[in-house]
Amino acid sequence: MSRGLWKNNSALVQLLGLCPLLAVTSTATNALGLGLATTLVLTLTNLSISTLRRWTPSEIRIPIYVMIIASVVSIVQMLINAYAFGLYQSLGIFIPLIVTTVSWWGVQKPLP
């Protein structure tokens, strides 16, 4: 019973992934900003990872993916800071949490 409730409960895992979203989306502007930032990061990281997949050795694949994801999130964070400072202030620490969300989605895909 406890194994299915705590360890193998995919609904609980998905709910925990929504915690940053629930904490920051008090207004439609914040929700749209975080959603667009996450979508942009997912798109850019998937394109770059798909492009580099052939040349990436399997032994160092995950660290390279994490570096790519963290770099793209940092770039998006700087862009939000430069062009939408009010949104940057309201999102605050939740922008870097996009790294964990995107990394989690990347781990779900089977590696060749």
Q: How far apart are CA 49 and CA 68, in angstroms?
A: 8
Q: What is the DSSP string of 52-109?
A: HGGGS-GGGHHHHHHHHHHHHHHHHHHHHHHH-HHHHHHHGGGTTTHHHHHHHHHHHS
Average pLDDT over residues 89-107: 74
| 33 and 94 Cβ atoms separated by less than 8 Å | no
Summarize pLDDT for 27-38 with one digit per residue, the tens: 788 888 888 888
pLDDT for res 42: 87
Total domains in the chain come to 1
Give the integer Cα–Cα distance in Å for 71 and 67.
Answer: 6
Domain with 33 in it: 2-108
pTM above 0.85, yes or no: no
